Chain A
């Protein structure tokens, strides 16, 4: 297409050259839009040849602006040389649409109007723009999701910019907050404010990026944790230009970690409480193994610290007893292969503790890489093992002893199962130990019917409490003989106090029982003889005395009725003899009486009361002779004695002291009592005339022995006292020096309480 006017204009070639050499596509069209001139750049841009382009209407090149009439009317209306700027889309020959920026204007050449357009392909730019928009959007979205905000600080004009997300993180309304470095420091938690400032300033000084976690005070007094990462940018000559950073809300992470730390600490504490070690043991497919986790108890078990074993478990295997290594390894592999619970008891040899027994229980878990991971516990059971060994040992010694004993020993466990019967049961029962073990009811069956109830009662008692008990019963042995058995049994406990059944002994006491019967018979005979002796005593006491008393009475009567007869000395002598006979019989009577004490007469009596009673009954006599009596006896002392004897002994001691006190000095009698092992010693110490013991020791306690002849001495007092003390199972001793004093020590049996 040619335009005649254009052809005619001067400098057309110059115009052509200008257009041709433009780097952007250029079109020159007439006012109808027909392209008159174009250039190589346009050809390149849309893909049409120059010939195809020339004569095309420029409006047809674009797909956005299609209304010819409207467009042409627009161009008719616009003033000359006013550049119109539009964006459009051009259709290329290959069908692509490219985005274009068009600068066009109406120009006049030689008074004719033309349209001139410069067209630039902006598809690529537009694409970038879209990409950037999308990234910005994504960045915002990412920041929102990650709770990361970013900021930029321009050092030149101290201008700080926060992204929206920062405002959201710190819960501040952007419209009410004038952001600056100082304002930011103002919301940082007071604990961290100074440190953050230092970190920031050091980053500038050292030209290094930094990461810093700190707390921020937000509204309502809440605190959030943030992680700040920033980098400083410098000019070529080292002046800081700006800082670019991010702030991430890590509150959740920090709090979760704190909770986790807490849980972990609790777990550690718990694990520390478990006796032994709690561990994880990992066995890799290639045979390596390690303890990724083990509690501090590891040291107690293997004398290795947990951290020594996290990578390699071989140190532990070196501790194992050489005889156990192979077996334990086999057990580990078996547990891994079958995924069964690992249970093993093995020995370790430790540098400090030496040989220890360990028990291990662990549950395996298969891991994705073919490893097996066990969770388990190892405990030191040495004490238990030693206990067991001791028990086995003591059982063995029990058996040795029991096998060789004369008695019929047995042992049944806590479930009443008969475990052992000593062979000697055969000697007693005629049945063998095997017969007893095969028939647990045999022991009961051979007991005489009438004794079975009692034995059942005993058994119930022993097994239900359980406690030590004994009983007696009779059995009929295999030969049919009745035998008396004493049965003793007691619960057996191990040293941990665990009930281990009942151990018992059956003793054949047949002979003893028969002996007892014989003794009982003998006792009956003795009793009988005693009775006769009593009768004899009675004859002496009553009949003999009656006669002598009568004789004395008759003589007295005679003396009253015919006093003249008594002028004859024979009658006086007869009366005297009769009186003496009477007295002798009385004494004999008393002595016999002492020897035949009835057990029922023993009573518990208070010693001080007895002594005080006696003292008060002689007080008149004592004061007459000037004897001072003092009593030092614990009022709590009570002893079993025959009251009449104790009264008599005390009274005799008192009257002796009164009778034999010295006229040369102030007389005293000290009465004391002291408790010693098994007896009580009552002492009567006076400062009387004393006794020459070298001369009189033998006869002092004899009957009718009078050492100091006095009117009222009959020589019976000490003899009676001795007999009474002896009758109560006691002893009497005397210490004396002439003219200095006498001490009687009376020892009587005493049961302390």
Chain B
């Protein structure tokens, strides 16, 4: 019962992307998983889709640490173009650093904060809460 149309995974760690795709698939709640290994590329796609009035992903899983644009840069750019408010973004991090969690507060994403390793259970609960709202 694939009730969520699209989840976008943005992480430069291909293993994580692979795992995320697999775990999402295992939830059996999502139709499509789109993935990007860089914030910038994901941003470009989102802009284009928005301009073309195409559908945006229902949920985005955004890794903090990335080579080119990291999560913060990506979020800032999305804010600048006014896309931020149209999206449901989860920060995904391997860091247990308080600093990062504090930083997430700035984007009011402290409750949309996942620590790795991600698991099918966690993803399922996210999706369920997304549908429930």
Q: Does B118 contact A (CB under 8 A)?
A: yes
Verify A556–B119 contact, CB threshold 8 A: yes
Binding site for B on A (CB under 8 A): 537-538, 541-543, 545-546, 549-550, 552-554, 556-557, 560, 582, 585-586, 589-590, 593, 644
**Of B13, B15, B95, B118, which one neighbours A541 at CB under 8 angstroms?**
B95
Verify B95–A556 contact, CB threshold 8 A: no
* Chain A binding surface SS class: helix
**Of B97, B99, B117, which one neighbours A549 at CB under 8 angstroms?**
B117
Closest to B100 in A: A541
Chain A residue numbers with a CB within 8 Å of B116 are 545-546, 549-550, 553
Chain A residue numbers with a CB within 8 Å of B96 are 541, 545, 585-586, 589-590, 593
**Of A537, A554, A590, which one neighbours B15 at CB under 8 angstroms?**
A554
Bound CA span A470–B16, Å: 63
Task: List 7 A-B pairs, minimum CB-CB distance, nearest first.
Answer: A549-B117, A549-B116, A589-B96, A546-B94, A545-B94, A553-B19, A550-B15
Q: Mark B87-126, 1 if CB is under 8 A from A, else 0.
A: 0000001111111000000000000000011111000000
Verify B95–A552 contact, CB threshold 8 A: no
Closest to B97 in A: A541
Chain B residue numbers with a CB within 8 Å of A541 are 94-97
Verify B119–A553 contact, CB threshold 8 A: yes
Q: How far is the CB of B98 from chain A (nearest CB, A)?
A: 6
Q: Does B23 contact A (CB under 8 A)?
A: yes
Verify A550–B13 contact, CB threshold 8 A: yes
Q: What is the number of residues of chain B that contact chain A, defined by CB distance less than 8 Å?
A: 21
18 contacts between A and B (CB under 8 A): A538-B95, A538-B97, A541-B94, A542-B64, A542-B94, A543-B65, A545-B95, A546-B16, A546-B65, A546-B94, A546-B116, A550-B13, A550-B116, A553-B16, A556-B117, A557-B22, A593-B98, A593-B99
Q: How far is the CB of B116 from chain A (nearest CB, A)?
A: 4
Verify B117–A560 contact, CB threshold 8 A: no
**Of B23, B95, B97, B99, which one neighbours A557 at CB under 8 angstroms?**
B23
Closest to B16 in A: A550
Closest to A592 in B: B97
Verify B94–A549 contact, CB threshold 8 A: yes
Chain B residue numbers with a CB within 8 Å of A546 are 13, 16, 65, 94, 116
Verify B19–A542 contact, CB threshold 8 A: no
With A553-B16, A557-B23, A560-B26 in contact, do A542 and B95 touch (Cβ < 8 Å)?
A: yes
Chain A residue numbers with a CB within 8 Å of B19 are 550, 553-554, 557
A-B contacts besides A553-B117, A557-B22, 8 pairs, CB < 8 Å: A538-B97, A541-B94, A549-B16, A550-B117, A554-B15, A556-B120, A582-B117, A589-B96
Chain A residue numbers with a CB within 8 Å of B94 are 541-543, 545-546, 549
Q: How far is the CB of B71 from chain A (nearest CB, A)?
A: 12
Q: How far is the CB of A575 from chain B (nearest CB, A)?
A: 11
Verify A552–B120 contact, CB threshold 8 A: no
Q: Mark B70-99, 1 if CB is under 8 A from A, else 0.
A: 000000000000000000000001111111
Bound CA span A560–B64, Å: 27
Bound CA span A582–B19, Å: 16
Find the residue from A550, A553, A556, A586 having the highest chain B CB count within 10 A.
Answer: A553
Bound CA span A589–B13, Å: 20
Bound CA span A546–B66, Å: 12
Q: Mark B1-41, 1 if CB is under 8 A from A, else 0.
A: 00000000000010110010011001000000000000000
Chain B residue numbers with a CB within 8 Å of A586 are 96
Bound CA span A556–B123, Å: 14
Q: How far is the CB of A563 from chain B (nearest CB, A)?
A: 13
Chain A residue numbers with a CB within 8 Å of B15 are 550, 553-554
Closest to B13 in A: A546
Bound CA span A586–B97, Å: 9
Bound CA span A553–B26, Å: 13
With A553-B16, A553-B19 in contact, do A593 and B97 touch (Cβ < 8 Å)?
A: yes
Closest to A557 in B: B22
Chain A residue numbers with a CB within 8 Å of B16 are 546, 549-550, 553
Find the residue from B15, B93, B94, B116 having the highest chain A CB count within 10 A.
Answer: B94
Closest to A578 in B: B117
Chain B residue numbers with a CB within 8 Å of A590 are 96, 98
Bound CA span A590–B116, Å: 15
Bound CA span A753–B119, Å: 51
Find the residue from A537, A550, A585, A644 having the highest chain B CB count within 10 A.
Answer: A550
Chain B residue numbers with a CB within 8 Å of A560 are 26, 120
Bound CA span A593–B93, Å: 16
Q: How far is the CB of A174 from chain B (nearest CB, A)?
A: 122
Chain A residue numbers with a CB within 8 Å of B119 are 553, 556
Chain A residue numbers with a CB within 8 Å of B26 are 560
Q: How far is the CB of B68 from chain A (nearest CB, A)?
A: 16
